Amino acid sequence: MIRPQEKCIAECQTVAKRSENPTIALRLHPSNNHWSFTKGNLLLLFQRVEAAVSAARDAFPSWSSKSPWERSQIMNKLADLIEQELEAFAQAESKDQGKTITFARTVDIPRAVYNFRFFASSILHHTSECTQMDQMGCMHYTMRVPGGIAGLISPWNLPLYLLTWKIAPAIACGNSVIAKPSEMTSVTAWMMCKLLDKAEIPPGVVNIVFGTGPKAGEAIVSHPDVPLISFTGSTLTGQLIMERSAPHCKKLSLELGGKNPAIIFEDADLDQCIPTTVRSSFANQGEICLCTSRIFVQRGIYHEFLKRFVEETKKWKVGSPSDPTANMGALISKEHLEKVKKYVKKAEAEGARILCGEGIESLQLPTRNQNGYFMLPTVITEVKDESCCMQQEIFGPVTCVVVFDTEEEVIKRANGIKYGLAATIWSSNVGCVHRVAKRLQSGLVWTNCWLIRDLNLPFGGMKFSGIGREGAKDSYEFFTEVKTITIKH
């Protein structure tokens, strides 16, 4: 087989056949796996995006006038329907993206269900502000109203998980949406489309457009009637979205790249730290923006940590995504696999040491997977801070381990990149944890753990890692506009 992922974006995927909920389904060219655009079908794409905007515009007055409780009930129905088909969604996500079936079953699809339930609940509990000016005989209060049509663009690494992370708060707040999943992983978005009618989501409230970023994505971002854009993906694409949105003064939420450090002090509990840091480095093949890719270890425990970390990494099984015992599946594409491998070669050429993984051991795969896009988890050491492997987002199963001496030194080095999404700190010293967490230029800092989330709290990065935050309060504020009302009495 060419790859373990199976693509379903073809004519059979002309989604849900909801004439009121327009969609685009384009065909992959069978000879080269690239999208084939002609003048005719490019024009069709823009016509479909325009039709999606029209449907969203028509649906907005009725949907936005529904009470939060009414919208909440409908969203919970959709969550129930997805949960009822959890196994089918998980199988599709694993085949389409290359992730393990275990990860899809336990992370991706349950979180997609929870996204709808969480925002269906949180929308019921927001409050407004009120002040009085007795001397003027006035009362002031605030009101939040839906922003309008929201353009939502999600990535290929956590397809339904991140698509629903955007759709759920947007429609909970009363907006209609035009959502574009990645053209690389659109199958579960298509499956969700078929449940919208059953959930009684009115036509035009949720419009899913299938197509590439440079075509469908740009058409959404550039449309003057789409005032809100929420995007998760690369920093480069985020910069292009800012350029295209600027003429229309659009409201933007951008969750972009990361190059996340783990800082491990000498008093860290290595029995907890090592398996968690292996997981934070290689979960989902390292294709998570929050994955650890720079590990700073204090000198006193450096050699012990390195030995045990490599031993633990070698235990991770790379195998068929359908194998429930596999820790890692396949990377998203041949091009991405080659890009990740090039980083390892560059590091080696710069004098770094590859301790395990790429170029050191051989993959042991079932016969049917031997032509797939698999890679062993790779640990690099003796790498300089200015190396591309320490500065650029690799987005694959590669992590670098380096030594540090002092707290002041490691903070400076951890901050010495353009990204600022997430970080982890390992120490039993509470004072150290608080000092370092405060000074790290990261939107999220985990201490003695990784990827424990409370969706009520802000999620997002600093510097080149994005603009804005997502979460109960932050998403509510993004997807609504606030107005102040003054009453003279």
In DSSP terms, 353 is beta-bridged to: 381
Residues 307 and 247 in one domain: no
DSSP element (H, E) containing 231: strand 228-232
Contact between 75 and 172 (Cβ < 8 Å): yes
CA atoms within 13 A of residue 372's CA, in its CB half-sphere: 30
Residues 215 and 294 in one domain: no
CATH number at residue 115: 3.40.605.10
Residues 247 and 276 in one domain: no
Residues 272 and 250 in one domain: no
E strand residue ranges, 51-174: 130-133, 138-146, 149-153
Residues 196 and 280 in one domain: no
d(CA 377, CA 373): 13
**Alpha helices (H) in 138-269, listed in sequence order:** 159-172, 187-193, 218-222, 235-245
Contact between 423 and 280 (Cβ < 8 Å): no
**Alpha helices (H) in 173-314, listed in sequence order:** 187-193, 218-222, 235-245, 270-282, 302-314
**Domains held by the chain: number:** 2
User: How big is the chain by its Cα radius of gyration, in Å?
Assistant: 23
Of 70, 183, 243, 255, catalytic = 255
Q: Burial letters for 327-344: b for 16+ Cβ neighbours within 10 Å, e otherwise?
A: bbbbbbbeebbeebbebb
Residues 249 and 265 in one domain: no
Residues 154 and 303 in one domain: no
Residues 373 and 440 in one domain: yes
Instruction: Judge whether 312 counts as a catalytic residue.
Output: no
CATH number at residue 328: 3.40.309.10
**What's at 50, amino acid-wise?**
E
d(CA 4, CA 334): 11
Residues 199 and 325 in one domain: no
The range of the structural domain enclosing residue 247 comes to: 42-256+465-488
Residue 121 inside a domain? The answer is yes
Residue 19 inside a domain? The answer is no
Residues 118 and 204 in one domain: yes
Residue 231 inside a domain? The answer is yes
Residue 28 inside a domain? The answer is no
In DSSP terms, 459 is beta-bridged to: 470
Residue 370 inside a domain? The answer is yes
Residue 230 inside a domain? The answer is yes
Per-residue 3-state assignment (H helix, E strand, C coil) for 371-419 = CCCCCCCEEEECCCCCCHHHHCCCCCCEEEEEEECCHHHHHHHHCCCCE
pLDDT score of 1: 26
> From first to last of its 489 residues, what are the pLDDT tens digits of the chain?
223 333 333 322 322 222 233 333 332 222 223 333 333 466 777 888 999 999 999 999 999 999 999 999 999 999 999 999 999 999 999 999 999 999 999 999 999 999 999 999 999 999 999 999 999 999 999 999 999 999 999 999 999 999 999 999 999 999 999 999 999 999 999 999 999 999 999 999 999 999 999 999 999 999 999 999 999 999 999 999 999 999 999 999 999 999 999 999 999 999 999 999 999 999 999 999 999 999 999 999 999 999 999 999 999 999 999 999 999 999 999 999 999 999 999 999 999 999 999 999 999 999 999 999 999 999 999 999 999 999 999 999 999 999 999 999 999 999 999 999 999 999 999 999 999 999 999 999 999 999 999 999 999 999 999 999 999 999 999 999 999 999 998
Residue 456 inside a domain? The answer is no
Residues 231 and 308 in one domain: no
Residues 437 and 474 in one domain: no
Residue 281 inside a domain? The answer is yes
d(CA 229, CA 170): 11
